[in-house]
Structure 1
Amino acid sequence: MCSIASFYETSGQSDCLFFVTEVIHNHTPLMKPVKLLLLIVMFLFTGFHLVAQPHTLLQDFSGYQDGNYLVLRWTFRSGTLCEGTRVERSTDGLMYTEIGRIPGFCGNPDSPITYTFTDSIPGVNTVNYYRLELGNYGFTTGIPVEFLKTGNNGFLVFSNQAGQTDIYFNNIPGRKGTAVIYSSDGKRIMEAGIDGKHLSLPNAQISSGVYLLLLAFSDNTSVSGNIVIP
């Protein structure tokens, strides 16, 4: 049998729903206030878990690498307000630690407003996860942001035993460009468009040797350096 206490613990299970149904259908009109209270509790409790949306205050939440830092950016919807924002980071997307906070009121009653936060010590060559606590409105879902320490050349090259070579480089959201690989005698071996922070070289398309890699971006910046294909 389902009691009021067990209703809170097991809401949504058939025994508790049967209990509420029995109250509604089998009791006298004197029980109407109790019926109404039970229905409200059931609606609020189950509704909270089924339809709660952690991003209701925000219209976007994203992050990107800017040099040796990771930058988080989020925008509050027009007319949404909260008090205080905490920023948390995780290495696995499960256990989070606070790394900063923005005190005072957040949001704007009249128009969307954007905030940024810079993480100066993110995990290196890995994916960092971030979430926000928006005052008393709870947490956002976590977002993954990759941080690459690319060294002086501005890129990293990884090759596996299967002959797959992957090149990782810093890039900002929305910036496109072109990757060109030249042989040691200046011959153009390969050219490909880039949109992101990763380029895969097809297996066996490029033979072993030393090559020059040029990454030219749409904002007229570029990086270049030698790569070794094993």
Structure 2
Amino acid sequence: MKKILLICLSSFFLFTSIFSQENYFENLLIQKELNPSIYYEAKQTAVKQQLPVSVKLPEGILIDVLKVENGVILYSVIKNFSHPFLDGEVLTYSQVKDRYDLSNAEINWGKSLNETVENGDSDTKLLLIPDWTNDNVLSFDPVTGSLVNANYIPSNPGNLASPKHALLNPAGFISVSDQITDLVQKFDTSGNYIGIYAPAGGVNNTILDNIRGHAYRPNGNLVVTVGSGGNQNGVPEFDNSGNYLGNFIAIGAGGLNSPFAILFRMNDVLVTGSSSDAAHRYDLNGNYLNNLITGVNFPQQIIELQNGNLALAVFSTPSGLGIYDSNGTQLNFFTQVSGLRGVYQLPSGNYLVTNSSGLHEIDGTTGNLIQTIYSSTNLQYISYVDYSTIPVELTSFTANLIDNNIILNWTTATETNNSGFAVERSVDNKFYEQIGFIPGSGTTTERRSYSFTDTSPGEGKFYYRLKQIDYNGTFEYSSIVEVGITSPKEFALMQNYPNPFNPSTTFTFNIPANELVNLKVYDVMGNEVATLVNEEKSAGSYSIEFDASKLASGTYFYKLQAGEKSEVRKMLLLK
């Protein structure tokens, strides 16, 4: 009897130990999902200590940095691609080396990924999937799911740290929400970095902190889910220039807790909450209606299918892919592949899903795993983009004050049936008047650059926008840029920029009254080497570019003389 009791107790403790290990492993992955700074710290520490960020073994095991504990990097070891939590374990790198043969392993040391194009860029339609391992965005074929470009948006240190969601903005650029940088960034459709989209002015954790998914309202405004900071458990809204407009969905509205993904449907909005375990439903103005789907453990991306049904990726146990009708009634729940983040339905009816082992195709009827398309522990949400719907892809629009004139410059990556650009100006950002028209390039896939000069508009603040007009008369407005012009109160010569420089730099100076102005450059012996200005100039601010390509490296001085006032500054030419 004692022997039987001991056997039963041993079995119980063995089961409890295994269960506890699986729970511990899953909980660590959940913490990484909720707070990617844990993972980011581990990745940065691994690079500093010259240890791997990730390892792929030939036998189909994925090893990835997970967290730093007491100064030691811990790695997650995923052995089951369909069910990442199953049989997973946490090891130090020393334990990894002792347990596994790394001689034929594919090791990522955390360096920038070189571009890898598998099938070339597809025409105009792609699937975009961010990846935390390399802090980049991959592209896949939306028909077959096959890899197109493993570095479509390359790693961009300082701007991408844990990219979660990439979308096509209505204005024609790609927006990427990043959980670590707390920013929504802008890229053109070739993957080139443009700049910060939201919030305007840069990082502001009272507005955005630990952001996840994002979407666009029918009016084109941006909405973003927030997991920490001043707007924790809310969904802030931004205009097309990235200016914060307040919260589209109020903090905690309808019990929303730790929001992740947003889906706009015809008549409502769905937001998944990882801690409220629901897909919350709101009207198109952000007012709470009800909980459409409940009882799901850590729901992430939710999409609307062609037939109006919904597909929901569920991350935590019991996890899998939930299929629901438009009213939230469950039709199926596929558990053959678990720990899901992203989901997309192929034209075949099969589904693509991402989890902690990669991108997988599963059968649309049975949920059985068909193939693993790409192995990675950190693929995120899946987004479909169609660039053929963009009449003109505007990649930049800037305004600069030069010699009391305002110079507008803009570039396009592609154009379709583009008649041209009406240039509009406003003094109050409400009423705009057309001040010029620049013809477009019709239809082209080549980059085009345009410029317009607003000559001496006077003093004050001015707002500019472009009205892009198609041949059929349809039009779309660009974002707004603003410039202020004031007469300088004092004589001033600014430090050249850049400095040191090679081979050119820019001098900026202010003249408070009409004067004869002289700007010259001298070497260290006092010899004049260039005269840049020697004429009467009206009061204002001026910028002059200096090309020193014919001069030797060394220290130079530049002197500004205006009437009886003068100033000298030093600069350094380094070739």
Q: TM-score, normalised by structure 2?
A: 0.21
Higher helix share: 1
Radius of gyration: which is bigger? 2
